[in-house]
Amino acid sequence: MKDRIREVMESLQMSQKDFAQFTGISEGSLSGIFNDRTRPTVQMIESIHDRLPNISVEWLLFGIGSMYKKNDDNDTPSLEPNVVDHSVVSTSHSLQQAPSLFESQQRTSNNSAPQQSCSEEKTVIKYIDKPERKITEIRIFYDDQTWETFEPKR
């Protein structure tokens, strides 16, 4: 995923510092991702998606598909970032309009998955009997560097 984040950053021709400021990710967190000290969080992916809605979240997370979402009216990807100042937009307004990262993935997975009835889904659970375990010996160690071993009678 770090390579795809770097690819987005390079496609925008931004330095690491500029990209961090643009997306609202701390410079230290971004540096940690690129140096394999940390992994990207969902919040980081959401902030990238908020600022760059033309980037495919599925590609960013899993590497599936193309980097850019397909536009119906234009086949060429737009590199123009979404420059909405999120500090001015009210929280309730932005939450109502923009679906979260998980909602958009859930919609795509629900649309592509075939519908199955509950009667078709039967899970067979096998119970494997384990042989009964028995104590073979107990050892007690003392602070004077001695020990005792106890074995059960058979």
Examine residue 67 and state whether it is found in any structural domain, yes or no: no
Examine residue 99 and state whether it is found in any structural domain, yes or no: no
**Burial of residue 34, with CB atoms counted within 10 A of its CB: 0-12 exposed, 13-18 middle, 19 or more buried:** middle
Examine residue 123 and state whether it is found in any structural domain, yes or no: no
**Most confident among 62-76, 97-111, 124-138 (mean pLDDT):** 124-138
Number of domains in the chain: 1
* CATH number (domain holding residue 25): 1.10.260.40
Examine residue 68 and state whether it is found in any structural domain, yes or no: no
Task: Tell me the C-alpha distance between 15 and 7, whole Å.
Answer: 12
Domain that holds residue 47: 1-62
Q: Supply angle C-alpha 87, 83, 86, rounded to 5.
A: 15
Task: Tell me the C-alpha distance between 59 and 67, whole Å.
Answer: 6
* Global pTM value: 0.43
| DSSP H or E run through 148 | strand 147-150
More confident residue, 24 or 70: 24
pLDDT tens digits, 58-85: 888 888 888 888 764 444 444 444 444 4
Rg (CA), the chain: 27
Task: Tell me the C-alpha distance between 90 and 3, whole Å.
Answer: 33
